[in-house]
C-alpha cells in the first residue's frame, strides 16, 4: 500500500535487525557513562530472572511428568 512505501522510505530497515534472519547488534554503553550501582542492580536482576526461568522450567518438567503418570494410570 501507499503508506507502507512512504514508511519504508522514511524508515529504511536496519540490516542488523532481528527480522528475516538478521542478528541483533549487542547493546554497548560507553565506559564514560557507566553507573556502577545501576550496573550491579541490573546484574542482580538478570541473575534473579535466570534463576526464576530455571525454576519455571523445572516446575513445567515436573507437571509434564505428573500428567504423563496420570495418563498412564488411566489406561
Q: What is the domain partition of the chain in residue ranges? A: 45-74
pLDDT of residue 15: 65
State the pLDDT confidence band at 24, using cuts at 50, 70 and 90: low
Q: Do 24 and 18 contact (CB within 8 A), yes or no? A: yes
- In this prediction, residue 45 carries a pLDDT of 97
**DSSP letters along the chain, please?**
-HHHHHHHHHSPPPTTSSGGG--PPPP---GGG--HHHHHHHHHHHHHHHHHHHHHHHHHHHHHHHHHHHHHHH-
CB 24 within 8 A of CB 16: yes
Mean pLDDT of the 16-20 span = 56
List all residues 6 or more positions away from 23 whose beta carbon is below 8 Å from its beta carbon.
16
Mean local confidence (pLDDT), 33-45: 92
The pTM (predicted TM-score) of the whole model is 0.52
Amino acid at each position: 500500500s501507499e503508506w507502507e512505501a512512504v514508511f519504508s522510505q522514511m524508515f529504511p530497515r536496519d540490516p542488523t535487525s532481528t527480522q528475516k534472519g538478521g542478528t541483533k547488534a549487542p547493546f554497548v554503553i560507553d565506559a564514560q557513562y557507566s553507573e556502577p550501582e545501576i550496573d550491579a542492580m541490573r546484574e542482580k536482576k538478570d541473575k534473579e530472572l535466570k534463576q526464576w526461568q530455571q525454576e519455571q522450567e523445572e516446575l513445567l518438567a515436573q507437571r509434564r511428568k505428573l500428567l504423563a503418570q496420570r495418563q498412564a494410570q488411566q489406561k
